[in-house]
Amino acid sequence: MKKQRVGILFGLIFVAQLTVRCNGGVTSTYRRRLAEPVDMPVDADVFQVPPGYNAPQQVHITQGDYDGSAVIISWVTADEPGSNTVLYGTSNTKLDMSAEGNVTQYHYYNYTSGYIHHCTLEQLAFDTMYYYTVGVGGTNRTFYFKTPPLPNSDASYTFGLIGDFGQTYDSNSTLTHYKANPDAATLLFLGDFSYADGYPYHDNIRWDTWGRFIESSVAYQPWIWTVGNHEIDFAPELVFQKHKTN
């Protein structure tokens, strides 16, 4: 018992010394509110469906390979599958390259998803601005991103970190704060995305609102994901029903 306490004390002194040496301290004046967060309503401004028939929504990008020369573009169309093509190029007036993606759809309880598209852009140049268009041949939307520098020990690159995000008024404040930082080039997402699992049947409409909410950042810079416990769509009722009917 006593030995353990001494161990803990030494541990604390060690941590305290580290803190002094690292000068970790406070790096931002931004503080998220401490009060119980409240979800924004489904018709909140930040959840609006973009205008136009079958307009691509929930546009998001992520890293497409290990060295930073590929990017995966994803988006959802609500009315019909539409085109899987992404047009892209290094000038916003000349998208002279194109890549072909795929489309998928899923069902969960009483929910049917939109048409979910994924398309990988490969062999991109490092440290270069690219413009891309989705919804080719219909209501189309254009975005841009910048590829990271060639990996080397002197390359400088700024990552953002967000986790436990949700879709509350506080999430909105956090996202606004994050987007105001001009340096953050890629976001590392630590898990617990939409908190749709807090709704009946994990109401997947709350994944769609969340996808539209974060688009204003993730359509322009890769978010690299890891999942948390709120991404487990455990549905014992479905398993039970299956056994019962068998």
Ligand X SMILES: *[C@@H]1O[C@H](CO)[C@@H](O)[C@H](O)[C@H]1NC(C)=O
Q: What is the DSSP letter of 203?
A: -
In the list 24, 25, 51, 137, the residue contacting ligand X (rule: CB under 6 A) is: 137
Which residue is at the shortest CB distance from ligand X?
120
| Residues paired with 132 in a beta bridge | 88, 143
Number of residues interacting with ligand X: please give it, by CB under 6 A: 24
Q: How far is it, in rounded angstroms, from Cα 150 to Cα 244?
A: 57
Q: Is 98 exposed, middle or buried (0-12, 13-18, 19+ CB in 10 A)?
A: middle
**Binding status of residue 140 toward ligand X by CB under 6 A:** yes
Nearer to ligand X, 98 or 228 (CB): 98
Smallest distance, Å, CB 89 to ligand X?
Answer: 12
Smallest distance, Å, CB 24 to ligand X?
Answer: 29
Residue 39 contacts residue 167 (beta carbons within 8 Å): yes
Nearer to ligand X, 110 or 153 (CB): 110
**Binding status of residue 176 toward ligand X by CB under 6 A:** yes
Nearer to ligand X, 22 or 35 (CB): 35
Phi, psi of 132 (to 5 degrees): -145, 145
**Binding status of residue 220 toward ligand X by CB under 6 A:** no
**Binding status of residue 188 toward ligand X by CB under 6 A:** no
Region binding ligand X by CB under 6 A among candidate stretches 12-20, 112-120, 156-164, 180-188: 112-120
**Binding status of residue 201 toward ligand X by CB under 6 A:** yes
**Binding status of residue 40 toward ligand X by CB under 6 A:** yes
Region binding ligand X by CB under 6 A among candidate stretches 8-16, 41-49, 190-198, 228-236: 41-49
**Binding status of residue 98 toward ligand X by CB under 6 A:** no
Strands (E), 7-128: 57-63, 71-77, 85-89, 97-100, 102-104, 107-108, 111-112, 115-121
Of residues 113, 123, 116, the one with CA closest to residue 101: 116
Q: How far is it, in rounded angstroms, from Cα 106 to Cα 236?
A: 19
In the list 37, 89, 111, 131, the residue contacting ligand X (rule: CB under 6 A) is: 111
Find all residues with CB under 8 Å of 111, minimum gap 6, and list them. Answer: 201, 203, 204, 205
**Binding status of residue 102 toward ligand X by CB under 6 A:** yes
Nearer to ligand X, 64 or 148 (CB): 64
Q: How far is it, in rounded angstroms, from Cα 91 to Cα 131?
A: 7
Residue 221 contacts residue 186 (beta carbons within 8 Å): yes
Smallest distance, Å, CB 52 to ligand X?
Answer: 8
Q: Residues interacting with ligand X, by CB under 6 A?
A: 40, 44-46, 72, 87, 101-102, 110-111, 118-120, 133, 136-137, 140, 169, 172, 176, 200-201, 203, 205
